[in-house]
Structure 1
């Protein structure tokens, strides 16, 4: 059975109908605490803008699919991710569409992060010990009491 992979062209002009359900768009708008009320015309305009955005994101992702050596028939997460990372005007989605990481890479990243945290906590502990020993009135240098007091006057 052949696939129907002919793209549906976007409408040339706005006809007054949108593909997204207006009731759901209104619910999403109502969920925002900053917005008290929203007119039907504003909800329609937001729905049209959302459709145009989804169309643009899909179009850019499809271009990423076609640039592969062996183009596939389906858009994948990797194509959307490539579109987000390569187009400056889609950069704001980089937090929502993060780069795919293999389990092995994630494991090494987590180990590196943990090593950095333990190293920084060790430095913080050393700083706390150094400040505690200076605040006691005795200056400490390399873990050994120095020959001078905290005031800098030599002790005899």
Structure 2
């Protein structure tokens, strides 16, 4: 027996009721330590805003599913991840909904990170440069737009090493690398901080 996959159409008229359970939203708001008290009207508005956000996210994900070579009616995780990565409005969800990667890509990135760390410890410039080049290459073989986004967001003051480390990888190795770079800068500048950006 086939599944009922027909979409529930959004309401056109205002009914004064929410599709999400209002009591559960109030419980979620009550868990937040920053909010001491929340009125019923505020909880209602938060619930309506959440419904509209979910509707927008799913519309964008549906557009991604339709844009594939073989369009689908069902939305999958990869459609949501593609919608998040392609829309500037949803950019804040990049950490929550990351793009899927294959095990082979993760393994190669880990090997590149290990090679980069070993290269910096031993002082081998060629190994470090090769590791940075492999880390800078996007996993899908296309062009990376991380540098463009960082310039667009005004964070182009980072050095190239910092910008490459933001693309992903192990957070502890990133912290070690940033600490080493900060120590190197302190040694070279007699303790002064570079304020030129």
TM-score, with normalisation over the residues of structure 1? 0.73
How many residue pairs were aligned?
Answer: 127
Alignment of 1:1-156 (within 5 A): 1=1, 4-123=4-123
Q: Give the RMSD, CA atoms, in angstroms.
A: 2.2
SS in 1 for 2:8: coil
More strand by share: 1
**What are the ranges of 5 or more consecutive residues in structure 1 without an aligned counterpart?**
132-156
More helix by share: 2
CA distance in 2, matches of 1:31, 1:51: 20
45-54 vs 9-18, which moves further: 9-18
Shift in Å at residue 5 of structure 1? 4.5
CA distance in 1, matches of 2:45, 2:14: 10
SS in 1 for 2:27: helix
Q: Cα 1:22–1:113, aligned 2, differ >3 Å: closer, same or farther?
A: same
**What are the ranges of 5 or more consecutive residues in structure 2 without an aligned counterpart?**
124-179, 188-197
